[in-house]
């Protein structure tokens, strides 16, 4: 069974602080995706990382895929209240299904 | 463009009743996924279809759950009989899968409460 673990589970920070959340697995995935989910809505894709060691930036968000394609990190610089939400990582199982982690619930206080 | 459309958005029912959740995927997408989300268990894959054919239903909890995709533009998830432990948000997602890539587009979910 493929499992993805995320840490921390919960994170509450002040506006302007930096943070990093992690996604780890013992399995190799063909790609890994990060989604953000806001209350009452479905998850929305932020980024897909495909190549081991790949780094992608989306404004203040930096995503990294581990060399072995088993883990990933999301770093947010100067967090803002609009970044509040549930951050989910999902492993693409070689074109079959997607396996989701349990998520990191982020709260950014003004 | 319309996204993934799910109905109903909210359903409250009594234990033992039949529940049918509906999903219209994005036109042109070839894969459809049903997920269930709870605080305790997160997002769980129930079943997914590729070109309207069920590929993996190992996540379906038990025989009370069934899913169909009669055509490329419609899918249903049925629970009969429903139980309180089925209370959750059920998401439908679609994707255009090419090889090993594809992005999941989620609907807004159907929040089910079984009393």
Q: What is the pLDDT of residues B84-102, one digit of tens each?
A: 999 999 999 999 987 666 7
Task: Report the distance separating Cα B95 and Cα B37, nearest Å.
Answer: 19
pLDDT reported for residue B100: 63
Task: Report the distance separating Cα B36 and Cα B22, nearest Å.
Answer: 14
Mutation site for A-interface testing, chosen from B3, B36, B43, B106 by largest number of A Cβ within 10 Å: B43
Task: Give Cβ neighbours of residue B39 (< 8 Å, ≥ 6 apart).
Answer: none
The distance of A82 to chain B (nearest Cα, Å) reads 19
Using a CB–CB cut-off of 8 Å, the residues of A that contact B are 30-31, 33, 35, 40-45, 48, 50, 88, 90, 92, 94-103
Instruction: Please give the average per-residue pLDDT across B15-34, as a whole number.
Output: 96
The share of chain A scoring above pLDDT 90, in percent, equals: 75
Task: Give Cβ neighbours of residue B99 (< 8 Å, ≥ 6 apart).
Answer: A95
Task: Report the distance separating Cα B108 and Cα A41, nearest Å.
Answer: 5
Peptide bond into B81 cis (omega under 30): yes
What are the pLDDT digits (tens) for B41-52? 899 999 999 999
Q: Is B72 on the interface with A (CB under 8 A)?
A: no
Closest CB from A35, A94, A97 relative to B56: A97
Q: Is the pLDDT of residue A96 over 80?
A: no
φ/ψ of B90, rounded to 5, equals -105, 125
What are the pLDDT digits (tens) for A43-93? 999 999 988 899 999 999 999 999 988 899 999 999 999 999 999 999 988
pLDDT reported for residue A57: 96
Q: Is the pLDDT of residue B67 over 90?
A: yes
């Amino acid at each position: 069974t493929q499992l993805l673990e995320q840490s921390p589970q919960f994170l509450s920070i002040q506006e302007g602080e930096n943070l990093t959340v992690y996604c780890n697995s013992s399995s190799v995935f063909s790609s890994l995706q990060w989604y953000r989910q806001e209350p009452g809505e479905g998850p929305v894709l932020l980024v897909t990382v495909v190549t081991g060691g790949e780094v992608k930036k989306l404004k203040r968000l930096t995503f990294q895929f581990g060399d072995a394609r088993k883990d990933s990190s999301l770093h947010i610089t100067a967090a803002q209240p609009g970044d509040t939400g549930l951050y989910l990582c999902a492993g693409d199982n070689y074109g079959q299904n997607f396996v989701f982690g349990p998520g990191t619930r982020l709260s950014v206080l003004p | 463009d319309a996204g993934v459309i799910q109905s109903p958005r909210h359903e409250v029912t009594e234990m033992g009743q039949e529940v049918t959740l509906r999903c219209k995927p994005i036109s042109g997408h070839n894969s459809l996924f049903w997920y269930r989300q709870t605080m305790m268990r997160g997002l769980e894959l129930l079943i997914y279809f590729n070109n309207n054919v069920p590929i993996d239903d190992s996540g379906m909890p038990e025989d009370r759950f069934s899913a169909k995709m009669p055509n490329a533009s419609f899918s249903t998830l049925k629970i009969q009989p429903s139980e309180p432990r089925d209370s959750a948000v059920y998401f439908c997602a679609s994707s255009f899968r090419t090889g090993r890539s594809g992005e999941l587009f989620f609907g807004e979910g159907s929040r089910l409460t079984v009393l």
